[in-house]
């Protein structure tokens, strides 16, 4: 990821704040023989990047955070709920053929399988390929026969950080995770599928940050 490259004047401001904190914008401007209006854009960039902290009626402080620290903290604050996609779901009784059609129409790698509204399994492209090669009659066999069943499914909760979700994806070598909430149907406790988070969702975050950093 690229990081913000500070100008010579911005580095001068950082050094001044380090040595004289807290210090007002007026005092900084005086030390550089410039007007406060001239420094305003520089101070805005330095506070937004997290390297300086501004406190009303007090002045500027050096936070000690690098650009990388700023982005790291920002990423930690992003929750699964913030970037999740809509779930792709089929019922357990759906035929393998119809589930394959759903997978390709929705352009996803994994489909969630539910029964009475609760998550009971997941089925991936690899599962479909195995069933086709194995001679399964995909027009008659329900997807529930070939799916990976609970509790052998790795899930993510909306309140988890994207770091936690990414670690699960890497550790379990899967393309995506169902995003779920605790639910109960007819006295049966389980998970309601409310979304999905994939490698693509997470990659988009880093691309977005990299783009912003290079501006």
Each residue's pLDDT tens digit, 73-130: 678 889 999 999 999 999 999 999 999 999 999 999 999 999 999 999 999 999 999 8
The whole-number pLDDT of residue 214 equals 46
Domain boundary among 23, 49, 77: 77
Q: Is the pTM above the cut of 0.75?
A: no
Q: Which of 10, 13, 47 is nearest to 30 (CA)?
A: 13
Q: Residue 63 pLDDT more than 80? A: yes
- For residue 189, being part of any structural domain is answered with yes
Question: Same domain for 53 and 154?
Answer: no
Domain boundary among 27, 56, 77: 77
Question: Same domain for 42 and 121?
Answer: no
- For residue 97, being part of any structural domain is answered with yes
Domain boundary among 77, 94, 127: 77
Phi-psi region of 97 (alpha: psi -120 to 50; beta: other; left: phi over 0): alpha
Question: Same domain for 49 and 149?
Answer: no
Q: Residue 191 pLDDT more than 90? A: yes
- For residue 20, being part of any structural domain is answered with yes
The whole-number pLDDT of residue 210 equals 65
For 185, the 3-state DSSP assignment is: strand
Residue with tokens 């393998």: 96
Check: CB of residue 177 under 8 Å from CB of residue 82.
no
Q: Which of 190, 60, 37, 214 is nearest to 119 (CA)?
A: 190
Query: Domain holding 174: CATH number?
Result: 3.10.580.10
Average pLDDT over residues 23-49: 90
Question: Same domain for 38 and 88?
Answer: no
Q: Residue 215 pLDDT more than 60? A: no
Q: Residue 29 pLDDT more than 50? A: yes
Q: Residue 64 pLDDT more than 70? A: yes
Query: Domain holding 28: CATH number?
Result: 1.10.10.10
- For residue 27, being part of any structural domain is answered with yes
Question: Same domain for 110 and 167?
Answer: yes
- For residue 36, being part of any structural domain is answered with yes
- Residue 54's domain spans which residues? 8-77
């Amino acid at each position: 990821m690229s990081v913000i490259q500070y100008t010579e004047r911005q580095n001068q401001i950082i050094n001044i704040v380090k040595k004289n904190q807290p210090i007002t914008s007026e005092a900084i401007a005086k030390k550089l023989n410039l007007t406060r209006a001239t420094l305003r854009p520089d101070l805005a960039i330095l506070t937004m990047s997290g390297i300086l902290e501004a406190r009303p009626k007090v002045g500027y402080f050096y936070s000690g955070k690098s650009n990388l620290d700023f982005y790291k903290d920002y990423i930690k604050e992003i929750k699964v709920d913030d970037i999740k996609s809509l779930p792709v779901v089929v019922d357990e009784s759906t035929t393998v053929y119809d589930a394959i059609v759903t997978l390709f129409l929705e352009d996803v790698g994994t489909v969630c399988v539910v029964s009475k509204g609760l998550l009971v399994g997941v089925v991936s492209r690899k599962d479909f390929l195995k069933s086709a090669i194995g001679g399964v009659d995909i027009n008659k066999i329900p997807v529930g026969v070939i799916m990976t069943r609970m509790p052998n499914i790795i899930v993510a909760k909306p309140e988890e950080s994207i770091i936690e979700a990414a670690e699960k994806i890497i550790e379990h070598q899967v393309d995506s995770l169902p995003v779920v909430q605790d639910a109960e149907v007819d006295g049966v406790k389980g998970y309601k599928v409310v979304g999905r988070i994939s490698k693509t969702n997470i990659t988009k975050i880093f691309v977005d940050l990299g783009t912003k950093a290079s501006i």
